[in-house]
Structures are given as structure tokens and as C-alpha cells.
Amino acid sequence: MTPLVTALDTSLTALLPELEAIYKDLHRHPELSMQEERTAKIAADYLDAHGFEVTRAVGGTGVVGLLHNGTGPTVLLRADMDALPVTEATGLPYASTATAKDEDGREVGVSHACGHDLHVTWLMGAARLLSQHRDLWKGTVLVVFQPGEEVGRGAAAMMDDGMVTRFPKPDIILGQHVMVGAAGTVGYRSGTILSAGDSLKVQLFGRGSHGSQPQTSIDPVIMAASTTLRLQTIVSREIGPLDSAVLTVGALQAGTKENIIPDDATLKLNIRTYDETVRDHVLSAVKRICCAESTASNAPREPEFTTLNSYPLTQNDAAATARVTQAFMAQFGERALEVKPKSASEDFSIFGRRWGAPYVFWFVGGTDAKVYAEAKANQQLNTIPSNHSPQFAPILDPTLKTGLQAMLAAASAWLCEESQRE
């Protein structure tokens, strides 16, 4: 292990209680995407207190901390801050009871059902330790607290707000996510690690009428039902068996009363793919099928398509992943595991794509190791509450420590002098 990581281990015991208190406070006070005012202030004030140059309100509520420490590489460390419109059902003593209005003005329960509160806590801890141990590393650290990951807008909003010109270009961009997995482990992968994600709203148009006189209508409910069924043939009949895609119709909304045929119907779709060619084909097929079903129903007009959010593939740089893997092996030994790609999606890669810089993203297990092992032995891993579940609750010991170790270990592969020697 590098001197920085060794120093982390010796400093961690004193820091963990403070970080646990920060985590529980953030967990109790979640904020929806692009509304992370309180969380951003906590992160910014903490950076300011530990010697970082702090820039607030980047891309809305984003926070960037800059710490120069001599000549060396520039390393960007990122955490997302936003919570979900999910009412928590964990039963934890520090569970969220928060509510807020979403972008449609609806009152919703809010919770950190994806673990971003843990991500923020990890990055705050890493920032403090890097500031405290400047004698053990050289270079520049950029810490980025990003809004709006859950709606796919936060990273782009920060980059659109001039990050490329306002801050130094990173030599490496690093990020991590708590996931279902044995606590104390980290999961790495070179190349594609997360899928591309596309969410669409499709509005289908018909002609309303009385339920007793369907012959005078063009029924959008039938149109929507037929479209939903036909869309499932894209993956089963148009995507090769060695490729992979997921298409889910998560919402079908039409009508208000049982004896009224409505004028229109709305479908909301989510698509996950691992290859740009497959992605393009699926998106094209969705439009083809929706338009064809509309024509077959003699609809008065073509469907309207609205992109709700879009996430690019997360594809880890091979050379950079090799360096991170080596650091993880030194830190965690057999607890560093090569993993398969996940079907979740992230906007993290937008930083690397816009800057033209390599990036590495990895996972930190947050499930009690005994619970995970038992579920795996019984082939019941799907029964463990996963990210976005109302019951999702990462175990803090040792997850809090592991995520902090992982971030510092990865950063040390660039920041520590011994890692820079050829």
C-alpha cells in the first residue's frame, strides 16, 4: 500500500464517528434531483473548513473543491448528491420522513434509496484526509459533488456551466457507487461496466367517445396495449442472442372513467443497452412500432416522442482501470473482485467524455456479508433489497470504511510519488 493509504488506515478510526454522524444527518434530510441546496451547503462548508478552494452553485447546486499540492497529476473525485421520490421503509432509527414536491408539483416521499448520501460522506472524508496528509502526495485534487444524477441532468449541467474552462483538466476521473454486494468488497471492471439508459414518453392519439359507442372512436387504450405488447418483440426478435438489451414499459396512462374512451394514451419506456449499435437499433425500432400501430389504428396523427432522460455507456479506460485494480489488490486483496457489467446507468461518464479524459467507476458492496453469503448459497440474491427499493439500507460497518479506503487507494495510484515513478 502507498504511504497515503497507510496514513488513511491510521487516521480512520478517529474520523469514522464524525463521518457516521454526517451520513445519518444526510440520510434524514434527503433532497430531490436539482434541489440539493442543504446537501450542497454541507459539502461546500466542509471543504472550505479543510483548505479547499470552493466554487458553489455549479450547474445549479453542484459544488467543486480544488486543492493544489505541488507539481503532479490532477485527479477528479466525484460523488452524486440527489435522493429519490421514494418513501423509506427501512425502519432505521435515522430513516427519512421527508416529503417534497417533484417537478410535476406532486407531493412525494423522499429518501436516499440509492445510497448517494453514502457517496457524499465518502467524498467528504476523502477530501479531509487528503488535506490532512499533504506531505504524502503531490498534484491537484478536484472534488465534485454533483446534483441530478437520478434524472440524468446533473453532470451535463455542471459541464455546461463551464467546468472545462473554469477548472484544470483532470488526468483521471474516479467515481464509485454502493450496490448490493458483500460489505467490505469492491467490484471493478475494465471496459463497459454500466449500460446506456434511455427513457422516453410516447403520446398516442385517438378519438374519444362514449364507452357505449366504440364505433365512433379511435381507441387509444387498445392502441397503447397493442403497442406495449409489440414493443416486447424488439428484444426477443430483433436483438441477437449474443447481444443484450432491456426494454420496459413502466407506465401506461389513459382515461379517467370506465365509460369514456379517451382522446389519447401515454406510454413511458425505459431502455438499457451495452452497445451503441444496439442502442440505435432499439430506439429506431421503438419509433417504428409506435408509428406503425398508430397507423394501423387509423389514428388522426402520429405519436409524439419525448426524451425523459438519456445516460451514455459507462466504459472504464483499460489502462487506468489496470492502475486502479493494482491499488485495490494492494488494499483489499481477495476482497477486490472483478464483476460483470450492471444494467444500471449513470451520467458519471459525461465528465470524462466532455473533458476527453480517462475515467474509472467501481462498486462498493453494502450488504451484510453473512446475509449476502446466505442469499447467494440459496440462490436468493434477488430477495435482497436493491438500489431504489424502499428497503434499501447499506450496512455502515464496514461499508463506510471500505468506500473511503477505495477512493483513497484509487487516487493514490496517481497522487503518490512512488506511483509516478516509471
The reported pLDDT for the residue numbered 104 is 84
Pairing of strands 172-182, 359-367: parallel
Q: Residue written as cell 436468493?
A: 380
The reported pLDDT for the residue numbered 422 is 41
Element spanning 363, H or E: strand 359-367
The reported pLDDT for the residue numbered 11 is 82
The reported pLDDT for the residue numbered 227 is 98
Rounded-to-integer distance, Cα 254 and Cα 32, Å:
27
The reported pLDDT for the residue numbered 59 is 98
Pairing of strands 304-311, 196-205: antiparallel
Domain ranges of the chain: 3-194+313-420, 196-310
What's the distance, CA 217 to chain centroid?
Answer: 43
Mean pLDDT in runs of 10 for the chain (422 residues)? 71 90 98 98 98 98 98 98 98 97 93 98 97 94 98 97 97 98 98 97 98 97 98 97 94 96 98 96 98 98 96 97 97 97 96 98 98 97 96 97 96 78 42
**What value does the CA radius of gyration of the chain take, rounded to a whole number of Å?**
23
Kindly list the distances between the CA atom of residue 90 and the CA atoms of 96, 112, 210, 302, in Å, as whole numbers in the listed order. Answer: 9, 11, 46, 45
What's the distance, CA 56 to chain centroid?
Answer: 21
Question: Measuring CA to CA, which residue among 312, 349, 412, 5 is closest to residue 173?
Answer: 349
The reported pLDDT for the residue numbered 203 is 98
Question: Measuring CA to CA, which residue among 348, 78, 277, 318 is closest to residue 192?
Answer: 318
The burial of 399, by beta-carbon neighbours within 10 Å (0-12 exposed, 13-18 middle, 19 or more buried), is given as buried
CATH topology of domain 196-310: Alpha-Beta Plaits (3.30.70)
Helices (H), 218-317: 220-231, 233-238, 276-296
Question: Measuring CA to CA, which residue among 399, 411, 400 is closest to residue 327?
Answer: 411
Rounded-to-integer distance, Cα 82 and Cα 152, Å:
11
Task: Provide the residue type at 406 as one letter.
Answer: A
The reported pLDDT for the residue numbered 420 is 47
Yes or no: say if 245 and 284 are a contact pair by the CB < 8 Å rule.
Answer: no
User: Which pTM does this prediction carry?
Assistant: 0.93
CATH topology of domain 3-194+313-420: Aminopeptidase (3.40.630)
CB atoms within 10 A of CB 125: 26
Element spanning 251, H or E: strand 245-254
Asked if residue 398 has a cis previous peptide bond (ω within 30° of 0), the answer is yes
Q: Residue written as cell 490532477?
A: 74
